[in-house]
Amino acid sequence: MKVWAIANQKGGVGKTTTAVSLAGVLAQRGSRVLVLDLDPQGSLTSYFRYSPDDLESSIFTLFQNQAVNPYSLVRPTRFEGMHILPATMGLATLDRQLGAKSGMGLVISKALKAMTDKYDYALIDCPPMLGVLMVNAMAACDHLVIPVQTEFLALKGLERMLKTLTMITRSRSVRLPYTIVPTMFDRRTRASTETLRLLRTRYVDDLWNSVIPVDTQFREASRMGVPLPMLLPQSRGVIAYERLLNALLSHDAKQAQTAAI
């Protein structure tokens, strides 16, 4: 199982959309995909028509009792090959209630290891704040995807995110690979083109060489609770996410090759 986390401490940059779209394309290609909602807001959970306010069990259950079989908390979605580990409101209290308890940083990592044969990919939608959930996501993933909205001030948020990454992953023996993904790109606006230009000068190695364009269909797909790849496979937004997926896959393949030498 490959584990990718999608994170940025800034909200509204396209994290949930990226998780849903990549998962949708993977499922369409026949992969078994698990999406995990680590955001107490529960947007990903709501996307798949579960209510973060009413669910009796969720990822939060795992943090309360690590003896629970994580697979018993997984729920189906309406889409073949896509399952979800949902969020509930309780996640918002995690840092206060259990953050200081030892062993809390590896809960997700252990849960995914226990399900490693069940899925080809696990995609983690991260919360927009630093805390025990973000620590868990970074400990569990093999690759971090950082969506950055192409607008003014976006680079400040990215710098913060990269600082957090360095801080959290300090104890790793090898650097956690990450890919910066410019999102909501509108080539008619100066904010978009200027931000992209700055990203390209500052983050040469870890920047994806293309962009996710603004596409109003994402909002429509979200309203309908359908991943855009399943709704409009030919839309420009989906074509961009297919390209991103291919880039992530070839990045991982290259890495595996280097590791094998």
Query: Which entry of ligand ADP, Mg ion, none binds 215, CB below 5 to 8 A by partner kind?
Result: ligand ADP
Among 11, 90, 99, 131, binds ligand ADP (CB under 6 A): 11
Amino acid type, 87: A
Buried b (16+ CB within 10 A) or exposed e, 4-33: bbbbbbbeebbbbbbbbbbbbbbbbeeebb
Q: Are 38 and 173 in contact (CB under 8 A)?
A: no
Cβ proximity to Mg ion: between 10 and 15 the closer is 15
- Does 112 sit near ligand ADP (CB under 6 A)? no
Which range touches ligand ADP (CB under 6 A), out of 81-89, 152-160, 202-210, 213-221? 213-221
- Does 13 sit near ligand ADP (CB under 6 A)? yes
Q: Identify the residue whose tokens are 């949902």.
A: 86
Q: Are 39 and 11 in contact (CB under 8 A)?
A: no
* CB-CB neighbours of 224 under 10 Å: 12
* Encoded tokens for 37: 């909602």
Cβ proximity to ligand ADP: between 96 and 219 the closer is 219
Among 37, 151, 215, 242, binds ligand ADP (CB under 6 A): 215
Cβ neighbours of residue 33 under 8 Å, at least 6 residues apart? Answer: 23, 26, 27, 81, 82, 83, 119, 120, 121, 122, 123
Among 34, 141, 214, 230, binds ligand ADP (CB under 6 A): 214
Q: Which residue is nearest to Mg ion (CB)?
A: 16
Cβ proximity to Mg ion: between 52 and 64 the closer is 52
Footprint of Mg ion on this chain (CB under 5 A)?
A: 15-16, 43
Cβ proximity to ligand ADP: between 38 and 70 the closer is 38
